[in-house]
Amino acid sequence: MQLAMTARLNPKLATGVLLVIVLVTIALVRYMSSNSSHEVTWTIINVSHGDRTGDAHLLQVPNGETWLIDTGFADLAEFMLVPYLQENNITRLDKLIISHPHRNHYGGIHVLLDAGISIGELYFNAPHPIPCANEDWAMGCDLEHVLSMQEYAVQFGVPIKSLEPNLVLSTTLNEVFSFRVLYRFDGNDTPAGITSINDTSAIMRMDVGEVSVLFPGDIGQQIGEYLSINGEGLDTDLLSIPHHGVSVSAPDSFFDRASPEIGFVSGLDSLWNSDRAARIKSYFDTKNIPVYVSDKYRAIRVEINNGSYEVYTE
């Protein structure tokens, strides 16, 4: 009413007031869209130690949720993962996502729960019995152990969910963020025949605006080769290098398809610099693609915002 009266009395003043309102509105919209609503923090927490490797990827996503992909072995989760979460005041994981049923990826589930860290949803597929039974070595696939771990989580009231191709795990608040499962094979009925359990890893992709991250778990030669020919959506800015960097993982043709700007190894620097990783290390060296190795640090933090990213080490 005040504005209408002023406008009638003084059109120039009214135009000026309107201009100020428009400019303030534009500034507010820019301010809101440039702030944390788009931001994702991806933290690779080191759970590799001694001669053992594992994965733990913490994702802090736009609606304020905290997700974790994999936990590492039980004892390393206790000494490396849980203290990191506690120091960062993380007492709840809205989603815990297990890439595949090997203990250096799921072994810390009960450790998290025992430490009082609540889990909203647990995405954890039990292995197909046939490829699982083919792994009769000490840390190979163990169906009974997986089922007991699922049961343990259920006792804490955690619902168990399944990772399936095309499953979208995005938050609802922000359309610039998406997280989805591209592929997951069961190791028995696959385009590459019966495979290892590593090749049952869920292959997951996160997009934050223009920045993409690929999480291929521990995929190996068989599915890696299949995807390098038939895979879609694998092109990425940031790549979690599969299977702790060792050369039995995906072939070079898979890395050609991913064509990352930076690679991240969840594993041991001594292993990365050994003959066991020589093929993959030489691939990244030859192409001048920088690689971060988790056990050189306590954590590697990637902050993604507004189409760009920054890597920090702790």
Binding site for Zn ion (CB under 5 A): 104, 218
CB of 24 to Zn ion, least distance (A): 53
CB of 244 to Zn ion, least distance (A): 6
Closer of 104 and 200 to Zn ion (Cβ) = 104
Q: Closest distance between Zn ion and the C-beta of residue 104, in Å? A: 5
Closer CB to Zn ion, residue 73 or residue 177?
73
Task: Using the structure block, give the residue that is written with the tokens 């499953």.
Answer: 167
Our CB check for Zn ion shows the closer of 117 and 265 to be: 265
Angstrom distance (rounded) from CA 81 to CA 182: 27
Q: What number of CA atoms fall less than 13 Å from residue 30's CA on the CB side?
A: 6
Element (H, E) at 232: none
Q: Give, in degrees to the nearest 5, the angle at Cα 59 between 55 and 65.
A: 135
Nearest distance, CB of residue 280 and Zn ion, angstroms: 14
Q: What are phi and psi of 34, to 5 degrees?
A: -90, -5
Angle at 50 (CA atoms; ends 49, 53), nearest 5 degrees: 50
- Smallest separation, CB 213 to Zn ion (Å): 18
Nearer to Zn ion, 83 or 140 (CB): 140
Separation of alpha carbons 235 and 255, rounded Å: 9
Closer to Zn ion by CB, 61 or 227: give it.
227
Q: Which residue is nearest to Zn ion (CB)?
A: 218
Neighbours of 106 (CB within 10 A): 26
